Structure 1
Amino acid sequence: MSIDLRALRSHFPSLDSGLAFFDGPAGTQTPRPVADAVSATLTCPLSNRGTGNLSQRNAERAVADFRAAYADLLNMPARGIVHGRSATQLTYDFSRHLAKDWNPGDEIILSRLDHDANVRPWIQAAERAGVTVRWIEIDTATAEADLDSYESALSSRTRLVAVTAASNVLGTIPPVRRISDLAHEAGALVYVDGVHYAAHGLVDVPALGADLFVCSPYKFLGPHCGVLTAAPELLDVLRPDKLLPAPDTVPERFEFGTLPYEVLAGATAAVDFLATIAPGSLRSETTRRERLAHALNSVHDHEKSLLARLQEGLHSMDDTITLHSKASNRTPTLLLSFKDRDAREACAHLATRDVITMAGSFYAHEVFTALDLVDPALRIGLAPYNTPEEVDRLLDGLAWLA
């Protein structure tokens, strides 16, 4: 069923500005229910977690609701949900936790498709442990993962494979399940960066074969934070450095210091809001996971329709605009460069038309190096609240540049 865009957009105060936001890959706009949840949590009776009084119970409920919401969103146990300040912070933390068991002669495999947050922490951990880094390369003709390079890199010495579920600049969705199955056959763990992927469809971590999966709620209408999930049985065997009096239970042992209860409440509200996006997703007899599946399938269809409209418009500009996003399976995210213009100039011109895009390399250092791309390039990303009219306004601005 299609999304009621008028109803959806009415929940976003920022859209009243008249701006058309195509910078979703950097972070989406925030609906009012998410802001209200943050405000209500900050202003209600609130203390550190406990059960002795109302303010302690409010904090306890914020944590429990957060874990339950992301368990539903990611199809994982609530006990396997870890909060972090960001996906980058969580990846740095878990690179240190996992590297405690690495030894010289071990190997890890990283992906050239990835944001540097799923590259540099592992490289630095490998350097400290004396571990060799190998790579999943990019097929330069298709902008897809080169699985031949992956299979050549994989061996009985591989301890970890870190790969994105979707490139934050190209949109490329690699075959994560195939990558995971091969890694597990070799006895390696799989760490999946789902930050960009989770914004554009329903996530099923077990179906992906990921041992650890990280995402960021601010990419899908929530507040700024990170979420990592893994099977509780795996978290049980990981021993982070921690304060002696701090909880040693899972997942609390990985969450350092007092949790930001208001952020957790906002992140929970984002999941609940996502579950209401599509008509028919409010049936009381369905589970939240089922409502999320219905809503996010509708989001996928809506964004796919907008992407087709956008690509059709770009096709007429082929001689002046180069489209680097060309994988057969990808998110509604496009990376462009211009024959005779700097992408920052294009970004500035579009802003004069109240169209918000971004120019840069977006922390995708390996992508830009592998494909010999010029920094900056222009990134266009679609979000659930975008409209066909906004796509046309974007195309008009690009046509003027072309």
Structure 2
Amino acid sequence: MTMLPITQVRAAFPALALSDDGAPRLYLDAPAGTQVAGRVVEAMSHAMIAACANDGGKFRTSVAAGAIADTAIASAAAFFNCGEDEVIFGLNTTSLFFQLAPLIAANWQAGDNILLTRMDHDANVAPWLQAAEARGVEVRFIEWDRETFALKLETLPHLIDARTRAVAVGHASNFLGTINDVTAVCAAARAVGAVSIVDAVQSAPHIALDVGAIGCDLLAASAYKFFGPHLGMAFVSHRLQGLIRPLKVRPSADVMPTRLMPGTPSFEAMAGTTAAIEHLAWLGIAAGTVSADAPLRQRLAAGLAAAQAHETELMRRFLTGIAAVPGLTLHGIANANRLHERVATFTFEIAGHSADAIAANLAARNMFVWNGYYYAWEPAGVLGLRDRGAVRVGFTHYNTLEEVDALTAALGQIAGRA
């Protein structure tokens, strides 16, 4: 297996060189937001200096801003493996879903229904709940198995029918780490003509996305979860574009992306997102699995494959380490033979220690983790964790085996305290 040159990869992230009072920072908070690649910082700085203007003008900085937007759209299209006229940008995935939900729901009627999951981040639940309430539409949920941590796909035929108007599903859980079979869910939606919606925020840093293979109508991800700036981007299929009437100012062009992207975008964030995508593509070059002159899509696939291979080893090491931690309960797939079914996001509890206390103890060691329920309202509710919460750590391609060992050693020390 070709391995990532981890020293070279870590050098691509300026924040990884930081320390506090001699203690290096151990970033384990990636599911909430990754560290930013250096090329992202440089691209955004360049955009704000050399292209600080609105697009559409004849003068140099305006032309440069337009070029940034065009390149970002092309890069996002390669990222999603879709047409350039099927991409829009927004503040983040949550905002994009809230923006699009009332447009998608405009023709829903009493007697219709939508299907959501008990596994999703609330960004892919609340917008559709509110839209359903406004239109008087029934809401159904697909549950997940407490033993396998997988959606109960066998129940789909009982949940989707001719009156189902939309189906929303997360590609990877930000709480359990499970990678869902979104292709099967979208196929079931497509069979009855329902709009299929995929939240790819947690999968985007780890898996090459292919909206054609998934078969969805709408898919969104946030660049700050894959080593870029705070910006959301979405794939909107031609079919879905034909179903919705956009909210737009009268003078704006009725073409993509303008028709579904009202107002002036953040050109600097678009430049940073392009750079983040280029970073992922560079990983394949660094691993020696693709040439530098290969098409962007090919480099992306190779880069994410290299990242996934590295993260699989991190996951394996973490599961081995926590097996020796007394009182630790992992909420998610723990079988080393099923690592292909999850991303490197782990949520757990340690008996006798609150999530808040564990996170504080690790923070004192300069290990950055989250505690709570991370807007995963539904899965936290299933597990009864909305009040006390749990600890979440996440690994990505810039983390090392040594960092995993340091974490599990710290957890062992915490668990061993009376």
Does TM, scored on the shorter chain, surpass 0.5?
yes
1:81 maps to which residue?
Answer: 87
2:210 maps to which residue?
Answer: 204
1:375 aligns with 2:382: no
1:354 maps to which residue?
Answer: 366
Q: Secondary structure of the residue that 1:198 maps to in structure 2?
A: coil
Q: Secondary structure of the residue that 1:229 maps to in structure 2?
A: strand
Write the deviation string for residues 171-222 of structure 1: whole angstroms up to 9, x where unpaired: 1111111111111112211100000011111111111111110001110100
User: Matched residues in 2 for 1:337 and 1:151: separation?
Assistant: 35
1:334 aligns with 2:341: no
Q: Secondary structure of the residue that 1:144 maps to in structure 2?
A: coil
Residues 135 and 150, structure 1, Cα contact 8 Å, conserved in 2: no
1:400 maps to which residue?
Answer: 413
Specify the code of the residue in structure 2 equivalent to 1:243.
V
Specify the code of the residue in structure 2 equivalent to 1:314.
I
User: Matched residues in 1 for 2:192 and 2:247: separation?
Assistant: 28
The 5 Å alignment of 1:118-157 reads: 118-157=124-163
Q: Which moved more, 1:197-206 or 1:147-156?
A: 147-156
- Segments of 5+ residues of structure 2 without an aligned counterpart are 19-23
2:261 maps to which residue?
Answer: 255
User: Matched residues in 2 for 1:360 and 1:236: separation?
Assistant: 40
Residues 368 and 375, structure 1, Cα contact 8 Å, conserved in 2: no
User: Matched residues in 2 for 1:122 and 1:245: separation?
Assistant: 30
| Deviation (angstroms), 1:45 | 4.0
Q: Identity across aligned pairs (percent)?
A: 36
1:270 maps to which residue?
Answer: 276
2:59 maps to which residue?
Answer: 53
Write the deviation string for residues 274-295 of structure 1: whole angstroms up to 9, x where unpaired: 1112322562441111111111
Residues 22 and 357, structure 1, Cα contact 8 Å, conserved in 2: yes
1:184 aligns with 2:190: yes
1:288 maps to which residue?
Answer: 296
The 5 Å alignment of 1:238-253 reads: 238-253=244-259
1:232 paired residue among 232, 235, 238: 238
Q: Which moved more, 1:235-244 or 1:23-32?
A: 235-244
User: Matched residues in 1 for 2:240 and 2:214: separation?
Assistant: 16
| Deviation (angstroms), 1:94 | 1.1
Q: Secondary structure of the residue that 1:276 maps to in structure 2?
A: helix
User: Matched residues in 1 for 2:4 and 2:236: separation?
Assistant: 32
Residues 39 and 262, structure 1, Cα contact 8 Å, conserved in 2: yes
1:6 maps to which residue?
Answer: 7
Specify the code of the residue in structure 1 equivalent to 2:368.
I
Q: TM-score, normalised on structure 1?
A: 0.97
1:307 maps to which residue?
Answer: 315
Residues 281 and 292, structure 1, Cα contact 8 Å, conserved in 2: no
- Segments of 5+ residues of structure 1 without an aligned counterpart are none
Q: Secondary structure of the residue that 2:287 maps to in structure 1?
A: coil
Q: Secondary structure of the residue that 1:52 maps to in structure 2?
A: coil
Write the deviation string for residues 34-72 of structure 1: whole angstroms up to 9, x where unpaired: 000000000014321125121111111111011100111
Q: Secondary structure of the residue that 2:304 maps to in structure 1?
A: helix
Q: Secondary structure of the residue that 1:93 maps to in structure 2?
A: helix
1:316 aligns with 2:329: no
User: Matched residues in 1 for 2:355 and 2:146: separation?
Assistant: 21
User: Matched residues in 1 for 2:137 and 2:237: separation?
Assistant: 25
- How many residue pairs get aligned? The number is 401
User: Matched residues in 1 for 2:252 and 2:87: separation?
Assistant: 18
Q: TM-score, normalised on structure 2?
A: 0.93
Write the deviation string for residues 280-316 of structure 1: whole angstroms up to 9, x where unpaired: 2562441111111111101000000010000001111
User: Matched residues in 2 for 1:386 and 1:364: separation?
Assistant: 24
Q: Secondary structure of the residue that 1:110 maps to in structure 2?
A: strand
Residues 235 and 251, structure 1, Cα contact 8 Å, conserved in 2: no
Q: CA RMSD in A?
A: 1.3
Write the deviation string for residues 100-143 of structure 1: whole angstroms up to 9, x where unpaired: 11111111000111000100110000000011000111112222
Residues 104 and 243, structure 2, Cα contact 8 Å, conserved in 1: no
User: Matched residues in 1 for 2:51 and 2:207: separation?
Assistant: 36
User: Matched residues in 2 for 1:172 and 1:45: separation?
Assistant: 41
2:402 maps to which residue?
Answer: 389
Alignment CA distance shift 1:45-1:358 (3 Å): closer
User: Matched residues in 1 for 2:51 and 2:14: separation?
Assistant: 27
Q: Which moved more, 1:378-387 or 1:225-234?
A: 225-234
Specify the code of the residue in structure 2 equivalent to 1:298.
A
Residues 173 and 330, structure 1, Cα contact 8 Å, conserved in 2: yes
Alignment CA distance shift 1:397-1:110 (3 Å): same
User: Matched residues in 1 for 2:204 and 2:330: separation?
Assistant: 23
User: Matched residues in 1 for 2:7 and 2:51: separation?
Assistant: 36
